[in-house]
Structure 1
Amino acid sequence: MKFCDWPEHLKKGVQGEDLACEYISGLRWPILARNVRLKRGELDIIAKDGDELVVVEVRYRSVGLVMPPEESVGPRKLRKLVLAGSAYVDRIGWEGFWRIDLIAITDLNGKLSLEHLRDITGGDVSV
């Protein structure tokens, strides 16, 4: 299926991830992978911040929806991210520190706002 034939919510998701990658590149973090599929879930972006591996969850929302994007990562989703992130670091043999960041993108009637929340687990990525 061509991108132009995708449902609107999937197009917005890809556009949000593209914007997040531009932002991350502006931080001079190397992007190691995108849309990593694992048995335990999908990781949007994998990047490196210095010596830390960063799993980046991207949330895109339009104004007027039930909750802002940063509130859409509840305990269940957070646990899935930790499990998927743990599976990824095990798969690549990563032995250093790693964390989960959230990039929340809000569409304010065509004007995009980006918020970066670092280490949304507070350092606890144990499974």
Structure 2
Amino acid sequence: MSSHLKLGSKGEDFACRKLEELGYEIVSRNVRFKLGEIDVVAMESGELVFVEVRTRSVGIMSPPEATVGPRKLKKLVRCGQAYVEKSGWSGPWRIDIAAVTVDKGNSMKFELFKDVTVGLVEI
């Protein structure tokens, strides 16, 4: 496995632990569709949550959450819609971004951005 894939996998594991500490129930991980992949599917307070996990090493100019642009958000929404359709879920759902930063000593920092598509006019 390449070093960036190892970093991503490590970041996802860390993000899932942090999400559980915040009361999220992890339903599934790495759900694949033709359109793309949902990193984490979880439930939080009766809401279905699709979590995009972004992991970066310290020293890289842009923070992890900045790597999710309009194109990626559009893809995440489409994957979320596909999951909802396939699962038959009829309740509320949203997309969160979990940003994980890893420093040189392998210490990790977690930040959560909830409901990142709110206010977007066109998806």
User: Shorter-chain-normalised TM-score: which range?
Assistant: over 0.9
Structure 2 letter corresponding to 1:47: A
Unpaired runs of at least 5, structure 1: 1-5
Q: Which amino acid aligns with 2:87?
A: I
Q: How far did 1:108 drift? A: 2.3
2:42 equivalent to 1:47: yes
What is the rounded CA distance, in whole Å, between the counterparts of 2:119 and 2:49 in structure 1?
A: 12
What residue in structure 1 maps to residue 116 of structure 2?
120
Rounded Cα–Cα distance in structure 2 between residues aligned with 1:22 and 1:53: 17
In 2, Cα distance between equivalents of 1:112 and 1:26: 15
- 1:9 corresponds in structure 2 to 4
State yes or no: 1:74 paired with 2:69. Answer: yes
Identity %: 50
- Where in structure 1 do 4 or more consecutive aligned residues deviate above 4 Å? none
**2:79 is matched with which residue?**
84
Q: How many residues align?
A: 122
Write the distance in 2 (CA, Å) between the matches of 1:29 and 1:64: 30
Gaps of 5+ in 2: none
Q: TM-score scaled to structure 2, two decimals?
A: 0.92
| TM-score, normalised via structure 1 length | 0.89
RMSD: 1.7
